[in-house]
Structure 1
Amino acid sequence: MSKRLGTYLLPAVLLLAALLPGRVCAQLDARSLMRAQQRGENTNLYGVPNPAPEDEEGQAQQPVDSTKEKRIKKPLESYFFSDSIRALPNFKWNVSQDYNRVRIEPLDTTLTAWRIDYPFYRNGVGDAPIGALGQGSVPLNYFERPQWQDFSFASPFHSYIYDMRNAPFYNGKRPFLQMTYIESGQKRYRETNFEIRHAQNISPSTSFSIDYKSRGTRGLYEWSRTKNQNIAVTVAHTGKRYSVHAGYVNNHIETQENGGVVGEWAIRDTVFEMPSGVPMRLTNAKAENIYRNHAFFLTQSYAIPLQRVTENDFSLADLSAVFIGHSIEYDIWSKTYTDIFGTYTDERGSKDENGNFVATEGHEYYDNWFIHPDASRDTLCERRLSNRLFVQAQPWDRNGVIGTIDGGVGFDIHTYSQFALGDYITGKYRRTRKTSYFAYGSIAGKIKKYVDWDANMKVYPSGYRGGDMSLGAHLALKGYLRGHALILEGRFSNEKRSPGYWQENLFSNHYVWSNSLAKENETRIEASFRVPDYALELAAWQGVVKNKIYYGPVGPGDSNVGVLQHDGNVSLTSLYARKDFRIGGLHLDNRVLLQWSTNQEVIPVPLVSAFLSYYYEFWVVRDVLRLQIGLDGRYNTKYYAPGYNPALSAFYNQRETEVGNYPYTDVFVMGKWKRMRIFLKYQHVNRGLFGNGDYFSVARYPLNPGMFKMGISWGFYD
């Protein structure tokens, strides 16, 4: 049939071509000629040069090209990224607030640690959490605890919050879209974790991204519902000479505060049919915290080459140059704490003459009601406007022995707002404004791929926080043994810092103080050794802190908490080891932390903390479906763990209850099918099977009882 069709079509085509005007055929030939010229082919017909057309006077005319010249897209030429980073299909980074630098971050789409759905468990041996997803926590490793001078009330949520330091920027050769959804428990008590991120390049050097996360729980225990929503919108242009990073961040957190259990006996000695039946201290008070945060930031720099730039220079990383930049950030935080007067009953408040427990009623969580005897509504607000001008000199090349020399100046304007006693009548906030000035600098360099080093300094010569100073240094030595990298690193830091504003000034319904505190002075030394190919890491920290500021007891009872300062030195020592063994498909991952504090009343730490993960990984269908089946376990020795105060949003030292010596174990099944990751997990599988029933991580706040979880994460590529 095809041969017969060709027999009829061929004469028809030839006839049509013969009848077409010669001008149309000439246009077709011209287009073919132009395409051939663009391909670099020989356009001479039959080996004879093409004659040029003539005008009316017989002069040769130049051919007119009516087509638009195709725009050539410039590649990613930024000096921020090495060739190995540019070669990745997608990569992520964070931008420095002070310096003209970025920090590359891993973009993980593997099975490595995705099963760890609580963000406060992902680093080292993890944190001590208040309880469920979306709630506050404090790192078990003292040297990983956040040192927040600005709005310290948000520090318990450090593992969730977006800010300029961790807002993600992306670059990719194709659009990147990833969605994650995890849920657990019955509908009434459900935990949910929803995340979506989209990143796309407008050009090889220009990109934008949106990261949104919504995590929380409806509350397994009474009055413990939590919503934690975080969004980061970023735009970046990393060109050959000009770079700009801009972003908007929003953090919104709502937490119902139950104040912890009435007594540890409710978890240790009594089995309730449902966790919602466990009696809590602030249930009748309906206490709640709402945190709101908006932040905008913009940092940009322009390069002035000191050498002639040619077409052969892919980027300015190998040339002498000076970079001039500016950074601005506006950050506003607020916290509103509300409650009503309410009491609770302790079923084991006392004992009679026969040793039997007797219930006691009328217990109050807070002893003081300074403003209103029946209800609280304490709103605190903090604004910060930060401006920086910086210069970065690149004497030879960015990866030279002296790669970059940085210097900058800046100022911060702080505005603090709160009600005072008389302000409740007028309904107006009382505002306090403070301004601090600072200067900073650093120097960094490399010796090929074997040595990285840097040193930095920052001083506040005057204004608010005048006299504050920080010094730091870092040295990394890299060697190779049979192609495997061996990395030895050392860090030194010394910091003199002022107390936070709210540590010295606070007026609320339950707490009022006006303190005069000395500056803290802390020195840290860190050393680590890593062999990434063998999943081996050893680290040691030594720290000495003078005039340590902390929250602690100022009277009997859990609610009598205030700001205290130790006028001597406290020494901290930490040793950390990580080793992941692999025997065929069997993985034995181990992380262990040892810590010693010379004063446990000022800085309490557990002697031993550990995270162990043992699982078997194998292909179900080669290059299609891969599975992991195993156990995760967490443990720390007994110590006087911190308590948590809802009105202050702060962890405080206590010496009434020891917490620990309980293994908290999860069993999981994880799979990766092409671009999709799936996991099934039963959290706290050992509840009631083994252990002492003392599953607390923070004093009076029990961890979640057993629950089933399932989740899915899917990466889409356009």
Structure 2
Amino acid sequence: MSRFSNRILLTLLLGLFFAAPEAVRSQGFDAKTLQRAQRNGQTGNLYGSNPYEQTEGEEGENQQPQDTTKKERKIRKPLESYFFNDSIRALNNFKWHVSRDFNRVEIGPLDTTLTDYRIDYPFYREDVGDIAQGALGQTSLPLNYFRRPQFFDFSFASPYYAYTYNMENVPFYNTKKPMIRMNYAESGQKRFREENFGIMHAQNISPTTGFNIDYKARGTRGQYVWSRTKNHNLAVAVSHTGRRYSVHAGYYNNHIEQQENGGVVGEWAIADTTFEMPSGVPMRLADAEARNLYRNNAFFVTQSYGIPLQRLTESDFSMANLSAVYIGHSFEYSSWSKVYTDRNEPYTNERDHRDENGDFVSAEGHYYGNWFINPAETRDSIYERNISNRFFVQAQPWDRNGIVGTLDAGIGIDMHTYSQFELKDYLTGKYTKVNKTSYFFYGSVSGKIKKYVDWDGNLRFYPSGYRGGDLSIGAHLALKGYLRGHPLILEGRFSMDRRSPTYWQENLFSNHYIWNTPLSKENETRFEVKFSVPDFAFEAGAWQGVVSDKIYYASDSNVAQHSGNVSLTSVYARKDFRLGGLHLDNRVLLQWSTDQDVVPVPLLSAFLSYYYEFWVVRDVLRLQIGLDGRYNTKYYAPGYNPALSVYYNQREVETGNYPYMDAFVMGKWKRMRIFLKYQHVNKGLFGNGEYFSAARYPLNPGMFKIGISWGFYD
């Protein structure tokens, strides 16, 4: 292990040695607090329903006389925000994300269990996973068409969606006590090592005000030649969620460096065991200088103020149950840049084709066919900036959880700046800048009928300016019933989008690709139905979509537009079986596309996880031992183009029909989680030997991994 990893492990072991007993620590308070509670005669949950209202004495016939010479402890105000219901407030710690457009938040879980902890690649955690370029920190694209990122501000960074922060996924926390969580994982030999490090600190200054810092560093030194990747992501956030006024502010930074090798010269280099080390596999970009560098800096602030339409008294714990109007503003500044470099060097394919005698013939090739600006080397630089302002009003006619809970309306202005090098810039010495402004208005309505019905609808329209005529309509309905106390949930979603192409899809000037072509708007309609029984780990859903004038990247990587309609259907099912300690977790996805040239998808994709879970020491150490497996049928999987940072629809090689399996042991010891895993345990044992996910990009060969995560709550 590296010096850094040794220090991390030493720190964790020292922390474990001096840790307080689990019976005290697991409740989220320290030994002194427990002793104080025992002296005062308190029993049960120390915090009760509202930990901030605890005093030295409680009313009751057994209450001891108070010492009037002592100054009474000041009662701290509780968390009064209308964002959170009683069940959320009762949690010791919880997390949420803020909405960009509406005066709402989305509550998310704090993952401290064994569930999926061993899955260290973030793009593998949702349903059946992604088409992957290969290693940690590199690009990916969801296998499920209906999960692929849309409306990504800087489209060239969308392949890194699983890693990057944006305004709507920056986390906010509410913690009863300061919390630090740290994790580290590594694998492989030192010169090929993958490293995954993350640290989070969250602390509340008061029940309604807190701040947090999240930092993640993920990457690889590269099992294959020229595949070194660094992915650094930082988010700093501050929140205040008071009874009337709320504000969420944050800064985030995404920094990505990736060497590009263009994939293998031929599938034979992986399927045939002619190379002792992965670093000897020949790649199509035979140049160590081929690389991408991405930089993103952004900050945002969104705030709202509530005006009650009924008298607000001190006994009103929250405004959620009163008629009210909220006015607010949201601001975001985000800038992205991308620099791609390479040199014009050919690669050699030793098995390019066979001659008349059936023998292999070697041939040289070039990854790129065009060198428009410089025939010797490339330095393409592009830049995008977006400044967004949104002004919104939210009406709460009766009750925030009523039949008509909230009515929202807002207007927005987005100011875009795009910059790239063009031929005329040789004379001016400055890069060409283009400014675009888009105006839009939007609205939504949502409500609930007790705990049985949850519904909402939304609309967004761009009347003029850049993106003029774009329209988005959506609706959602959830019905909940109960069978012997177990919830049964049936959901339906509908969306219709008419959207303009991005600026870069219509305008690009680079060393390898040039286009300047107006494109028509895409039109897409989607329907989704999902039925779930959470208590029995069952979920089944179906999507149906029709898209017309689909914009995509063709087999030559140039942008293209399909003139007709493409229909897409997906059926997804998840069921986790449990027989004592034996767990059989299954996720299966079926997909059909009426035009595989435009939207290629595999017919079948699956993720299966079979493991045995048991207590080694009751309430102290719990273990899981098992196998994870991923599989999809053969199809013309997308290829990845480094210069454009896009997945394109190649039609030369089929990929799939290979099971990729990991063996793991995972445990939870008090506050610590740890996993040991051998990734790609079946390499060379069975399968067709072509372990590709994206076309010509091999997944990692067999490698051992170790990971550890620890939380501190004092």
Q: TM-score, normalised by structure 1?
A: 0.90
User: What secondary structure, in the 3-state scheme, does the structure 2 residue paired with 1:462 have?
Assistant: coil
For 2:160, the equivalent position in structure 1 comes to: 157
Would you say the 8 A contact 1:96–1:102 is kept in 2? Answer: yes
Work out the CA distance in 1 between the residues paired with 2:353 and 2:620.
Answer: 62
Partner letter of residue 92 of structure 2?
P
1:193 Cα shift?
Answer: 0.1
User: What secondary structure, in the 3-state scheme, does the structure 1 residue paired with 2:596 have?
Assistant: coil
Would you say the 8 A contact 2:665–2:677 is kept in 1? Answer: yes
2:175 matches 1:179: no
Partner letter of residue 214 of structure 1?
A
1:367 Cα shift?
Answer: 1.0
Work out the CA distance in 2 between the residues paired with 1:181 and 1:36.
Answer: 45
Partner letter of residue 158 of structure 2?
S
For 2:549, the equivalent position in structure 1 comes to: 547
1:292 Cα shift?
Answer: 0.3
Work out the CA distance in 1 between the residues paired with 2:129 and 2:229.
Answer: 20
1:274 Cα shift?
Answer: 0.3
1:66 Cα shift?
Answer: 11
Q: Label 1:568 to 1:38 Cα distance change in 2 as closer, same or farther (>3 A).
A: closer
For 2:36, the equivalent position in structure 1 comes to: none
Would you say the 8 A contact 1:237–1:244 is kept in 2? Answer: yes
For 1:238, the equivalent position in structure 2 comes to: 241
2:660 matches 1:656: no
1:298 Cα shift?
Answer: 0.2
Would you say the 8 A contact 1:149–1:500 is kept in 2? Answer: no
Corresponding residue to 1:585 among 581, 586, 607: 581
For 1:516, the equivalent position in structure 2 comes to: 518
For 1:456, the equivalent position in structure 2 comes to: 458
1:72 Cα shift?
Answer: 3.0
Work out the CA distance in 2 between the residues paired with 1:368 and 1:355.
Answer: 32
Work out the CA distance in 2 between the residues paired with 1:338 and 1:619.
Answer: 53
For 1:169, the equivalent position in structure 2 comes to: 172
Q: Label 1:424 to 1:708 Cα distance change in 2 as closer, same or farther (>3 A).
A: farther
Work out the CA distance in 1 between the residues paired with 2:671 and 2:327.
Answer: 42
1:67 Cα shift?
Answer: 8.8
1:285 Cα shift?
Answer: 5.9
Corresponding residue to 2:607 among 604, 608, 611: 611
For 2:297, the equivalent position in structure 1 comes to: 294
Would you say the 8 A contact 2:259–2:288 is kept in 1? Answer: no
Work out the CA distance in 2 between the residues paired with 1:567 and 1:174.
Answer: 58
CA deviation profile, 1:667-686 (whole Å, cap 9, x unmatched): 00000000000100000000
For 1:110, the equivalent position in structure 2 comes to: 113
Would you say the 8 A contact 2:226–2:288 is kept in 1? Answer: no
Would you say the 8 A contact 2:527–2:545 is kept in 1? Answer: yes
1:222 Cα shift?
Answer: 0.2
User: What secondary structure, in the 3-state scheme, does the structure 1 residue paired with 2:535 have?
Assistant: helix
User: What secondary structure, in the 3-state scheme, does the structure 2 residue paired with 1:461 have?
Assistant: coil
Would you say the 8 A contact 1:216–1:226 is kept in 2? Answer: yes
- Number of residues paired by the alignment? 657
Work out the CA distance in 2 between the residues paired with 1:70 and 1:324.
Answer: 36
1:149 Cα shift?
Answer: 4.8
Corresponding residue to 1:120 among 92, 106, 123: 123
Q: Label 1:617 to 1:372 Cα distance change in 2 as closer, same or farther (>3 A).
A: same
2:682 matches 1:690: no
Work out the CA distance in 2 between the residues paired with 1:496 and 1:676.
Answer: 48
1:150 Cα shift?
Answer: 2.3
For 1:364, the equivalent position in structure 2 comes to: 366
Q: Label 1:357 to 1:480 Cα distance change in 2 as closer, same or farther (>3 A).
A: same
For 1:471-482, what aligned pairs fall within 5 Å after superposition? 471-482=473-484
Larger radius of gyration: 1
Corresponding residue to 2:423 among 414, 421, 424: 421
Would you say the 8 A contact 1:149–1:499 is kept in 2? Answer: no
Q: TM-score, normalised by structure 2?
A: 0.90
1:73 Cα shift?
Answer: 1.6
1:272 Cα shift?
Answer: 1.2
For 1:262, the equivalent position in structure 2 comes to: 265
Corresponding residue to 1:432 among 418, 426, 434: 434
1:106 Cα shift?
Answer: 1.1
Q: Label 1:305 to 1:353 Cα distance change in 2 as closer, same or farther (>3 A).
A: same
2:357 matches 1:354: yes
Q: Label 1:356 to 1:133 Cα distance change in 2 as closer, same or farther (>3 A).
A: same
Q: Label 1:580 to 1:161 Cα distance change in 2 as closer, same or farther (>3 A).
A: same
Work out the CA distance in 2 between the residues paired with 1:286 and 1:208.
Answer: 40
Work out the CA distance in 2 between the residues paired with 1:295 and 1:43.
Answer: 54
CA deviation profile, 1:298-341 (whole Å, cap 9, x unmatched): 00000000001122211000000000000000000000000111
1:172 Cα shift?
Answer: 1.1
Would you say the 8 A contact 1:135–1:226 is kept in 2? Answer: yes
Corresponding residue to 2:323 among 315, 320, 323: 320
Partner letter of residue 637 of structure 1?
T
Work out the CA distance in 1 between the residues paired with 2:57 and 2:620.
Answer: 44
User: What secondary structure, in the 3-state scheme, does the structure 1 residue paired with 2:232 have?
Assistant: strand
Partner letter of residue 169 of structure 1?
F
Partner letter of residue 170 of structure 1?
Y
Work out the CA distance in 1 between the residues paired with 2:57 and 2:660.
Answer: 71
CA deviation profile, 1:124-161 (whole Å, cap 9, x unmatched): 00001000000000000000001135210000000001
Partner letter of residue 128 of structure 1?
I
For 1:9, the equivalent position in structure 2 comes to: none
Work out the CA distance in 1 between the residues paired with 2:194 and 2:160.
Answer: 17
User: What secondary structure, in the 3-state scheme, does the structure 2 residue paired with 1:373 have?
Assistant: coil
Corresponding residue to 2:204 among 183, 201, 204: 201
User: What secondary structure, in the 3-state scheme, does the structure 1 residue paired with 2:554 have?
Assistant: strand
Identity %: 73
Work out the CA distance in 2 between the residues paired with 1:272 and 1:683.
Answer: 19
For 1:483, the equivalent position in structure 2 comes to: 485
2:70 matches 1:74: no
For 2:100, the equivalent position in structure 1 comes to: 97
CA deviation profile, 1:619-646 (whole Å, cap 9, x unmatched): 0000000000000000000000000000
Q: Label 1:38 to 1:661 Cα distance change in 2 as closer, same or farther (>3 A).
A: closer
Partner letter of residue 629 of structure 2?
G
1:163 Cα shift?
Answer: 0.5
Partner letter of residue 179 of structure 1?
M
User: What secondary structure, in the 3-state scheme, does the structure 2 residue paired with 1:648 have?
Assistant: coil
Would you say the 8 A contact 2:152–2:158 is kept in 1? Answer: no
For 1:28, the equivalent position in structure 2 comes to: none
CA deviation profile, 1:62-117 (whole Å, cap 9, x unmatched): xxx99987543210000000100001110000000000000001111000110100
For 1:548-587, what aligned pairs fall within 5 Å after superposition? 548-553=550-555, 560-587=556-583
CA deviation profile, 1:4-61 (whole Å, cap 9, x unmatched): xxxxxxxxxxxxxxxxxxxxxxxxxxxxxxx9999997799xxxxxxxxxxxxxxxxx
Work out the CA distance in 2 between the residues paired with 1:43 and 1:107.
Answer: 40
CA deviation profile, 1:481-540 (whole Å, cap 9, x unmatched): 001010000000000000000000000111111011000000000000000000000000
Partner letter of residue 183 of structure 1?
E
1:427 Cα shift?
Answer: 3.2
Would you say the 8 A contact 1:551–1:651 is kept in 2? Answer: yes
Corresponding residue to 1:535 among 537, 542, 565: 537
For 1:678, the equivalent position in structure 2 comes to: 674
Give the RMSD, CA atoms, in angstroms: 1.7
Work out the CA distance in 1 between the residues paired with 2:286 and 2:228.
Answer: 12
Partner letter of residue 448 of structure 1?
K
CA deviation profile, 1:150-198 (whole Å, cap 9, x unmatched): 2100000000010001000000111111100000000000000000001
User: What secondary structure, in the 3-state scheme, does the structure 1 residue paired with 2:462 have?
Assistant: strand
For 2:6, the equivalent position in structure 1 comes to: none
User: What secondary structure, in the 3-state scheme, does the structure 2 residue paired with 1:561 have?
Assistant: coil
2:401 matches 1:399: yes
Corresponding residue to 2:150 among 135, 147, 166: 147
1:271 Cα shift?
Answer: 3.4
1:283 Cα shift?
Answer: 2.5
Work out the CA distance in 2 between the residues paired with 1:243 and 1:568.
Answer: 47
For 2:712, the equivalent position in structure 1 comes to: 716
Work out the CA distance in 2 between the residues paired with 1:494 and 1:253.
Answer: 34
CA deviation profile, 1:396-424 (whole Å, cap 9, x unmatched): 01000000000000100000011101314
User: What secondary structure, in the 3-state scheme, does the structure 2 residue paired with 1:347 have?
Assistant: strand
Work out the CA distance in 1 between the residues paired with 2:190 and 2:57.
Answer: 67
Partner letter of residue 333 of structure 2?
Y
For 2:275, the equivalent position in structure 1 comes to: 272
Partner letter of residue 370 of structure 2?
N
Work out the CA distance in 1 between the residues paired with 2:517 and 2:436.
Answer: 17
Q: Label 1:183 to 1:41 Cα distance change in 2 as closer, same or farther (>3 A).
A: closer
User: What secondary structure, in the 3-state scheme, does the structure 2 residue paired with 1:219 have?
Assistant: coil
